[in-house]
Amino acid sequence: DAGITQSPRHKVTETGTPVTLRCHQTENHRYMYWYRQDPGHGLRLIHYSYGVKDTDKGEVSDGYSVSRSKTEDFLLTLESATSSQTSVYFCAISESLAGNSDEQFFGPGTRLTVL
Amino acid sequence: AQSVTQLDSHVSVSEGTPVLLRCNYSSSYSPSLFWYVQHPNKGLQLLLKYTSAATLVKGINGFEAEFKKSETSFHLTKPSAHMSDAAEYFCVVSEGRAGGSQGNLIFGKGTKLSVKP
């Protein structure tokens, strides 16, 4: 998976609790992305990063925050988890910003269940 | 605004027969187009990409796709299906920098391919 790991791989939590998902890359790629995948929706972009401490919102950013203090790590935080955030979360990386034809490489995913 | 429509949510073929997964896109600028495959409980893997060079693009595992601007289509094909091709396939569009990209790939909703023995 192009040197991308996600942790944890599975998590069950309760409504109202904070949750942090971690994406770690060993490729030294500048751009990192967080997506969520839901049946019938494909993948939707939550947030992305274009460098250390540089992030921007995607299509479905409400209820999520991100941080990138090092090139290799991109954290996704659900500030107060809700059942609608039950999903599979994918991290992706690319050498250049999406739109420049460079492919994105995806991690193995994290399955999050909010009860 | 860019969008992607995968015309079939589920396609079923017999092993050894041709595969056709249909994708139509909408984009205001010169798009880049991708097909990704996702096997059960796995991440996504790039099959092929179109970036304004040859309109017929060859990918991995015998797949290919043809970019047809007049039809705004980017259908994925394979001459002979194999059992290992059973997976979900995503058509993806991305605009070039002129489109003011905010770092977003637009994914279709996916087509599940089943392959019968």
Q: What is the pLDDT of residues A71-103, one digit of tens each?
A: 999 999 999 999 999 999 999 998 876 555 568
> In whole angstroms, what is the distance from residue A29 CA to residue B36 CA?
20
A14–chain B nearest CA distance, Å: 23
Beta bridge partners of B24: B5, B73
CA angle A99, B5, A90 (to 5 degrees): 55
pLDDT at A94: 87
| Chain segment A10-67, per-residue pLDDT in tens | 999 999 999 999 999 999 998 999 999 998 888 999 999 988 999 999 889 999 999 9
- The one-letter code for the residue type at B108 is G
Which residues of chain A neighbour B98 with C-beta distances below 8 Å? none
pLDDT tens digits, chain B, 117 residues: what are they? 678 999 999 999 999 999 999 999 987 777 889 999 999 888 899 999 987 778 899 999 999 999 998 999 999 999 999 999 999 999 998 865 443 344 568 899 999 999 999
**Cβ-contact B71, B81 below 8 angstroms:** no
Q: Judge: B103–A99 Cβ closer than 8 Å, yes or no.
A: yes
pLDDT at B3: 87
pLDDT at A2: 65
> How many other C-beta atoms can be found within 10 angstroms of the C-beta atom of residue B5?
14
pLDDT at A73: 97
Q: Judge: B43–A31 Cβ closer than 8 Å, yes or no.
A: no
Which residues of chain B neighbour A41 with C-beta distances below 8 Å? 109
- The one-letter code for the residue type at A27 is E
Q: Which residue of A has its CA nearest to B95?
A: A99
Instruction: Indicate left, alpha or beta for A84 from its phi (over 0: left) and psi (-120 to 50: alpha).
Output: alpha
